[in-house]
C-alpha cells in the first residue's frame, strides 16, 4: 500500500490517534492499575510518537517497555531515527522522508501486535565494584546524619539490594536504578554541583544512579565505581541496558585504584573486564 509519497512503499495509512487533553499529573493520579490499560499510541510531534504502557509506574510497565524495545530491534527499519524509553513509555522518532505520522502509527501497531511472539531476553546480573571511601563520597556522612544511621550501616544498606535499571537518561548512559532501601530515601541537593566525577554513585530521592561521564548533578554522592559505563568510541557506547540487574560490591581504595588502572569496563555479558587505555 502506498505511503503517500511517490514511488515509496510503506505501512498502511489510517487516522492518527488523538492527543491527550489532560496533563500528565492528572493522568497519573486518576489512572487505573496498569493491567487494565492497553498500550496507547499518541502523537508527540509531526515526527514522533509516544507509546504509553499505562500510567501506573511499576514492574508490569517496565516489562512491557522492554518487550516493545526488543520487538522493535527484531524489526529494524531505516525510517526510525531514535528510540527513547522511560518508566512506562517509549518515544519513537522517525524520518519524515520515509514515513508520515500515519505510517509510523501503523508500524508501531504492528510491532505491538508482535510482542507476544518475540518474547524477552533474560536480564543480565551485573556486579559493580564501588568504593565508599570519603574521598569518593562527599555526601555519605550527611546522608548518615540525616537518617540517624552510622556510616558503615549506610554503606551496608546501599550495597545490599539488587537494583534494576529502569532506563537510561539525563546524560549519555546514566542509569536510573530502582530498589533503594526506603531508609536511605534522600532528597537531592538544594544546589547542584557544577561538576560530578565520572563513576560517581549517588542517591536522588528514592533512586540510585551512576554518573557515567563527568557532568553537573544534584544527587547525593555515596561512592564511586572504577568501571567505565560509557565510551563514545566503543560499541555499544553505554554499557548498561534497561532491565539489567545491578549489585554493588564495596571495595577498598587499593582495589579501586587497581581496577581503575586497568581501564575496567563491562563486556556484552555484563562482566567487569580490563579495557583499552
Query: H or E segment at 50?
Result: strand 48-52
Question: Nearest to residue 59, comparing CAs of 128, 120, 130, 129?
Answer: 120
The whole model's pTM is what?
Answer: 0.74
> Which whole number is the average pLDDT over 170-197?
94
DSSP, residue by residue, 164-216? EEEEE-SSTT-EEEE---GGG-BPPPSS-EEEE-TTEEEEEBTEEEE-SS-EE
Q: How far apart are CA 16 and CA 5, in angstroms?
A: 17
Question: Nearest to residue 61, comparing CAs of 34, 91, 23, 27?
Answer: 34
pLDDT tens readout for residues 244-254 = 999 999 999 99
pLDDT of 275 > 70? The answer is: no
Helices (H), 74-150: 101-113, 115-118, 140-147
Q: Are 222 and 135 in contact (CB under 8 A)?
A: no
Q: Are 129 and 222 in contact (CB under 8 A)?
A: no
Q: How far apart are CA 102 and CA 17, in angstroms?
A: 9
pLDDT tens readout for residues 65-84 = 888 988 898 899 999 998 98
- For residue 30, give Cα distances in angstroms to 33, 43, 55, 144: 10, 21, 9, 36
Q: How far apart are CA 239 and CA 102, in angstroms?
A: 34
pLDDT level of residue 276 (50, 70, 90 thresholds): low
Question: Nearest to residue 94, comparing CAs of 38, 64, 50, 61?
Answer: 50
pLDDT of 172 > 80? The answer is: yes
In whole numbers, what is the pLDDT of the chain averaged over residues?
A: 84
Q: Are 140 and 55 in contact (CB under 8 A)?
A: no
Domains parsed from the chain with CATH numbers:
24-118 (3.30.1360.40), 125-273 (2.40.100.10)
Question: Nearest to residue 106, comparing CAs of 8, 7, 17?
Answer: 17
pLDDT of 118 > 50? The answer is: yes
Q: Are 173 and 213 in contact (CB under 8 A)?
A: yes
Q: How far apart are CA 136 and CA 212, in angstroms?
A: 14
pLDDT level of residue 64 (50, 70, 90 thresholds): confident
**Residue 126 burial by Cβ neighbours in a 10 Å radius (0-12, 13-18, 19+):** buried
Question: Nearest to residue 168, comparing CAs of 88, 240, 237?
Answer: 240
Cell numbers given for 195 = 561538576
Amino acid at each position: 500500500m502506498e505511503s503517500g509519497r511517490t514511488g515509496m512503499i510503506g505501512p498502511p495509512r489510517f487516522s492518527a490517534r488523538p492527543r491527550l487533553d489532560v496533563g500528565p499529573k492528572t493522568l497519573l493520579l486518576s489512572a487505573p492499575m496498569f493491567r487494565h490499560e492497553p498500550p496507547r499510541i499518541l502523537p508527540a510531534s509531526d515526527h514522533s510518537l509516544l507509546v504509553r504502557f499505562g500510567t501506573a509506574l511499576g514492574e508490569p510497565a517496565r516489562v512491557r517497555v522492554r518487550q516493545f524495545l526488543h520487538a522493535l530491534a527484531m524489526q529494524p527499519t531505516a525510517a526510525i531515527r531514535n528510540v527513547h524509553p522511560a518508566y512506562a513509555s517509549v518515544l519513537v522518532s522517525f524520518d519524515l522522508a520515509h514515513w508520515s505520522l500515519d505510517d509510523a502509527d501503523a508500524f508501531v501497531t504492528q510491532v505491538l501486535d508482535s510482542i507476544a511472539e518475540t518474547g524477552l531476553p533474560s536480564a543480565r546480573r551485573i556486579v559493580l565494584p564501588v568504593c565508599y571511601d570519603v574521598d569518593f563520597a562527599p555526601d555519605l556522612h550527611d546522608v548518615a546524619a540525616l537518617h540517624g544511621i552510622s556510616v558503615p550501616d549506610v554503606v551496608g544498606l546501599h550495597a545490599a539490594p539488587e537494583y534494576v535499571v529502569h532506563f537510561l537518561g539525563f546524560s549519555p548512559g546514566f542509569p536510573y536504578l530502582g530498589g533503594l532501601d526506603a531508609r536511605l530515601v534522600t532528597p537531592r541537593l538544594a544546589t547542584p554541583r557544577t561538576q560530578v566525577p565520572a563513576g560517581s554513585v549517588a542517591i536522588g530521592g528514592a533512586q540510585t544512579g551512576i554518573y557515567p561521564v563527568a557532568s553537573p548533578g544534584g544527587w547525593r554522592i555515596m561512592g564511586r565505581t572504577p568501571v567505565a559505563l560509557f565510551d563514545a568510541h566503543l560499541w555499544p557506547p553505554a554499557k548498561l541496558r534497561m532491565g539489567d540487574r545491578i549489585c554493588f560490591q564495596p571495595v577498598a581504595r587499593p582495589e579501586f585504584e587497581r581496577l581503575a588502572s586497568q581501564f575496567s569496563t563491562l563486556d556484552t555479558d555484563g562482566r567487569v573486564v580490563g579495557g583499552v587505555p
